[in-house]
Structure 1
C-alpha cells in the first residue's frame, strides 16, 4: 500500500503516492531542511522542539521547522539518538485553535514535510485556524536521519525494485536481484536501516506528541500513513482526538505489506476502465490523444504493445534507458493513481507505436532512485513482517496472477528482497480492533488502484463502531482535498472542524471525469 512518492504531480498534495510497498519512491524534501546522515548520541530526557523559520518557495507563509531527537532503539532510551525532521504551520488565531492536526504521509518513504508544504494552504482554507498543522519525515526519509544499503544503481530503478517478471514469466532474475538487495542491506545498512518499521514510526509519533505538549492529537493519514495512523490509534487510543484514515488497506496482520502489494492486481483491473473510457473518448481527438475508437479496445492494445516491447524495447529520450514492456506497465500503474496523469500515459502509448517518435519516459522511470530512498522503502516492509522464502512458490503465484490479471503481469505477487531478509521482525504487526473511542472517519475512492475499496472495507469491519466510512464513487488514490469531490471533502472538513461524523457509512457520487 505503501506509497510511491515520485510518481505524480498533484494539484494540492505532494508528488507522493502512497501505496506500493516495495516500490514506493520518495519526493525530495524541502531544501530548507538539513539531512542527518548518522545517529547522534544524546542523553535521554524530555524532548523539546526549537522552531525556526523555514520558508519554501510556493509554500505556506509562516512555515517553521524543528529537529526532534528520538531513540534509535526505543528499547534502549538511554542509547544513541537519531533526528526526526518536523514542520509546522501554526494557527494564526489562538482563540480559534482547538489543537494540532498531524499530517502523516504515505509510503513507506513519503515525506510528511513535503506533504504539508504542498497541502497547508488548502488545509488552512478548509479548516481555518482550528489547528496547528504539523508533519514529520519518518526516520530514513528527507530531513530525518537517513541511511543507505549500498544497493547497486541498476537494482534501484523503479522497474527493478518492483519485481516485474521476465517476458516469459520467469522469476529467476527477480530472485537473484532480491537476494542482492537483501544482502546489501544486511552488510551495509547498520542499526538505522534495521530500525525502519511501522512500529518505530508509531513510537516516534508518540514522542512527537509529547514534544508538542499535546494531550491528544488529531491525525490525517493517507495510504500507508493511514495504516500508521490506525496503529497509533490502536496503541494510544486515548491520545487521539479526531482521526481521518484516507485510502486504507486491509489491516489483517497476515495481509500487512505482502497482502497490500498483492491486492494491487485486482485493484488495477477495477481502475483501468476509467482510463480506457478517457482514452477512447472522441474529446481526445482535439489534443491528439485518442488511443482507440472504443474503450474495450484499449486493454488489448496496451497488452499487445507491452508484449512487443518485451521482445523489442524502444529507444527512449533518456540515453541508455529504453522503453521496455516493464516500463510501459509501470507507467500505467503510476498513471492510474490520478486522472491528471492520463494524458501523459496516452501520449506514451501513441509514441510507442509510432516508428518516427521517440517516447519520453516519465521522470520516475528515467533513472535509479537514490540509495537512501530505496533502502527505507525496502527495509520498512521487510522489518515489519516475515515473508515466505521458497522461490518456487512465488513462481507459481506469478504464473496464476499473470493469467488472472494481465495488466500487472504477476508483479504484485512476485519475489521481493524480504524473502531473503536475515533479521526477523522485532515487532509483530498489531491487530486493529473495535476497542477504543469512536473518533475515526475513513474516506475512500471506490476504484483505488493502490489501496482498493475491498481492503478499506476490511479496515472498516475491524474498527467496528469506532469508525464511519465515506466512499467516493470515483477512481484514483487519495481523496481528501485531492480529487475535487465536494461531498467527500465536506464530510472530512465537518468532522475535523466540528466533530460532526456521519451517523452511518455514506456514499458520495462522482462528478464527471476531468477533460
Structure 2
C-alpha cells in the first residue's frame, strides 16, 4: 500500500447501489464464485530468464494469461496477466503454487517469483508465482498520458503537502487535469480495476495452474486481495498469508476515514522511531542527542514557512521532508540513515553558515541531508521503459474504484487543517493523497465492488501478520482484519516497518510450517525482528 505510491470526518454512506453484497449467499456462492470450477485454459508457460544479463538459472517460466476485461461479458475483450514462476526445487515433493502480491495498489509482482522472503523449504515445495495484476506494469498497464512530457506538465503543478491557498488551488486544479487525461486516454480498462476483478483473475490463475485450492501471500494492499478471496471463495482457501494489513470493512465503506486513520499510523511509527532513537542515543542513533521529539517538530515547523537550502544548493521543502520521512518509516533498514539525514538538516538549520566557510567535515555531514530534498512519487512506477510514457496509473484506478470518496475535491482541502492538529506531520500529507478520486472517471459509486461480508469461515485458517509500528497500515488494522475474518489468527512483530515476512527468523519458521504443513500458528504471539535499527557501534 503505497502512500508513496498511500481522510474527512464527513462520514460517507456505505455505497450499495452497485456494490456487491453477498450476505444471503451460502459459502462459495458469493459473486464470481458460481463458476469457480468451470474449466479454464491452462497457463502456457515458456522458459525465461528474469535477468538476461546473467546466465539463465533454468528454473523460471513466464506467460501472459488472458482473463476477461469485464466478467459480465466473459467471452468479450481480454486482459493479459503477466506471470512468472520459479519452479519448485524438489519436484517430487511439490505441493502446488504460491501466488504473491506485493501491494500498492499498482505494485508489480512479476519479479516476486525471484523473492528470497521465503526460505529454502518453501522454495523446494512450491512454485513461486509472481504476477502483475490487471492494469499494472506488464499486464495491460493503465495509462492516463501518452507522453512523459504531458504527465510532467500535470504532476509538476502538484504539491505533496500544500499549505497556502495558491498551493492548494494548484494541486486541486492539477488533479482535475489528471483525471481529465485518464478519462481521455485510459480506455475501457479503467472501469474494471476494482479489487473484485483482481480476485476473479487470481482464482482463474489458480485453476489454470491446476491447484485445487489457493496458496497466497499478500502484502499491504495484497491483504485486501487475500481477504476478499477468502470471502468470495472460502472453500478454495488452502493457506493465505496477509502481512501489513488493511482494514477491509473500513476501506470499502469510507475512504476518507480510512485515510485519516492511515495518518495516525504514520504518526505512531514516527513517534516510536523518535523514542527508540533517543533511547539508543548518539552515536548509535545520529539524531539521538537531546530531545528528539522537540528537534523533529522544530524542523517540521520551520519547513512549514521556510524551505532550507543546503550547502550544495539543493532545497528541502515541507513536501520533500514529509515524503522522505514517510518513505524511510516503511523499512527498519532505513531508520539509521533517516536519523543521519535529520541530524544533518538540524545542524544546517541550527548553525547556518555560508557554504564556502563550512569545514570539510561539516559539509560532508550536511550532504547527508540531501536525501531530504528529493521528492518521492506517491504512486509506484514499475512499467517497463518501452514507451514515451513509462508510468502506469493503477494506484488511483484501484483506490478510486474501491474506496468511496466525496465528489467535491474541496472536501480534501477542508479536512487538512483538522487532521494535522491530531497528526501534525502526516495529517495534511494524507489528506491530499486522493483528491483525484473526487472526479475520477470510474468512481466507487459506479463500480462493481466486493463490500462484504468479511466473516465467511474459510476452509483453512488465514494467517494475519502485523507489525506493532507499521506506518502505512497501522497495527490496529491487523487486529481488525483478524476480527473481521471468519477464520484467522494474528501474529505480531515488535518492529517499525511496513510488513514483516523475511525480517524475523522466528516469524519465517511459523510461515514455513503454515505454508508447508498447513499448521496455523498459535494466537497471541509477539515476535522480535532479527535486526536492531540502531545496533551498538
Fold equivalence (TM over 0.5): yes
Q: Of 269, 282, 286, which aligns to 1:271?
A: 269
Partner SS for 1:92: coil
> Would you say 1:313 and 2:307 are equivalent positions?
yes
Looking at structure 2, the residues matched to 322 and 472 of structure 1 have their Cα atoms a distance apart, in angstroms, of 37
Give the aligned partner of residue 495 of structure 1. Answer: 514
Give the aligned partner of residue 452 of structure 1. Answer: 474
1:319-371 deviation digits (Å, cap 9, x = unpaired): 9x742111101111111111211233233323434244454236972679756
The 5 A counterparts of 1:339-488 are: 339-353=332-346, 354=348, 355=352, 356=355, 357=366, 359-361=369-371, 365=375, 373=391, 375-414=393-432, 416-425=435-444, 426-431=447-452, 432-464=454-486, 466-481=487-502, 483=503, 485-488=504-507
What's the offset of the Cα at 1:284? 4.1
Q: Give the aligned CA root-mean-square deviation in angstroms.
A: 3.1
C-alpha distance 180-167 of structure 1, shift in aligned 2 (>3 A): same
1:388-445 deviation digits (Å, cap 9, x = unpaired): 1234543342111111111214222345100112434321333111333232111111
C-alpha distance 513-277 of structure 1, shift in aligned 2 (>3 A): farther
> How many aligned positions are there?
467
C-alpha distance 279-424 of structure 1, shift in aligned 2 (>3 A): closer
> Would you say 1:332 and 2:325 are equivalent positions?
yes
1:167-186 deviation digits (Å, cap 9, x = unpaired): 57974343223222222211
Normalising by the residue count of structure 2, what TM-score does the alignment of the two structures yield? 0.78
- 1:20 and 1:260 in contact (8 A); partners too: no
1:176-209 deviation digits (Å, cap 9, x = unpaired): 2322222221122211233322122112112211
Rg larger in structure: 2
What's the offset of the Cα at 1:154? 4.9
C-alpha distance 383-391 of structure 1, shift in aligned 2 (>3 A): closer
The 5 A counterparts of 1:54-453 are: 54-56=49-51, 62-117=59-114, 119=115, 121-150=116-145, 152-156=151-155, 160=158, 163-166=160-163, 171-252=168-249, 254-255=252-253, 257-280=255-278, 284-285=282-283, 290-294=286-290, 297-315=291-309, 322-353=315-346, 354=348, 355=352, 356=355, 357=366, 359-361=369-371, 365=375, 373=391, 375-414=393-432, 416-425=435-444, 426-431=447-452, 432-453=454-475
- 1:193 and 1:375 in contact (8 A); partners too: no
Give the aligned partner of residue 41 of structure 1. Answer: none
- 1:55 and 1:61 in contact (8 A); partners too: no
Give the aligned partner of residue 39 of structure 1. Answer: none
Looking at structure 2, the residues matched to 256 and 227 of structure 1 have their Cα atoms a distance apart, in angstroms, of 15
Partner SS for 1:285: coil
Runs of 4+, deviation exceeding 6 Å? 316-319, 366-369
C-alpha distance 165-363 of structure 1, shift in aligned 2 (>3 A): closer
Looking at structure 2, the residues matched to 338 and 365 of structure 1 have their Cα atoms a distance apart, in angstroms, of 18
- 1:167 and 1:307 in contact (8 A); partners too: no
What's the offset of the Cα at 1:316? 6.5
Structure 1: state its 5+ residue gaps: 8-18, 22-43
Looking at structure 2, the residues matched to 333 and 71 of structure 1 have their Cα atoms a distance apart, in angstroms, of 37
Looking at structure 2, the residues matched to 109 and 365 of structure 1 have their Cα atoms a distance apart, in angstroms, of 19
Higher-RCO chain (CA-CA 8 Å, sequence separation at least 6): 2
Looking at structure 2, the residues matched to 88 and 227 of structure 1 have their Cα atoms a distance apart, in angstroms, of 22
Structure 2: state its 5+ residue gaps: 8-38, 356-365, 382-388
Partner SS for 2:471: coil
C-alpha distance 273-312 of structure 1, shift in aligned 2 (>3 A): closer
